[in-house]
Amino acid sequence: MYEVIKNLFQRRGIQNISQLDEDEKRDYDRWIKILSEGEVTVESIKKFCYNQIGLIEVKLKDLENTDKKNERLIIQFNIYKSILGAVEVPRKEREALEKYLNSLI
């Protein structure tokens, strides 16, 4: 258990999670999830963007979409692709430069 939650439980006299009611258990689970996620990394951003792009592609296949909804989905798609590009371009440039420099050796 995380120290901050442990301290809160001690202050409130809670010895065990089983003492919590349903709402408190939901809050506890949410807190644990938030605290366990850790730092946002470039990899987590890329993963999130790829997941969003996948969801958007599925939604774009729906023939019942209105034109306005498709426009919004296309805008969202372009935004996530731009974020990925901004994250991945420096890596690709570095790889190309390393390959070039290695060819000179």
pLDDT at 1: 64
Q: Is the pTM of this model over 0.95?
A: no
CA dist., res. 58 & res. 74, Å (int): 12
Rounded mean pLDDT of the chain?
89
Residue with tokens 């060819």: 103
Are residues 77 and 47 part of one domain?
A: yes
Look up the domain containing 77 and give its range: 42-104
| 49 and 93 within one domain | yes
pLDDT one-digit tens code per residue, 56-101: 999 999 999 999 999 999 999 999 999 998 888 887 888 888 888 8
Predicted pLDDT at 70: 96
Query: By 3-state DSSP, what share of the chain in percent is helix, strand and coil, each rounded to 5?
Result: 80, 0, 20
Residues 15 and 31 in one domain: yes
Number of independent structural domains in the chain:
2
| Per-residue pLDDT tens digits for 6-48 | 888 888 899 888 889 898 889 888 888 888 877 888 888 999 9
Give the span between the Cα atoms of 47 and 56, in whole angstroms. 14
| Residues 59 and 92 both lie in one domain | yes
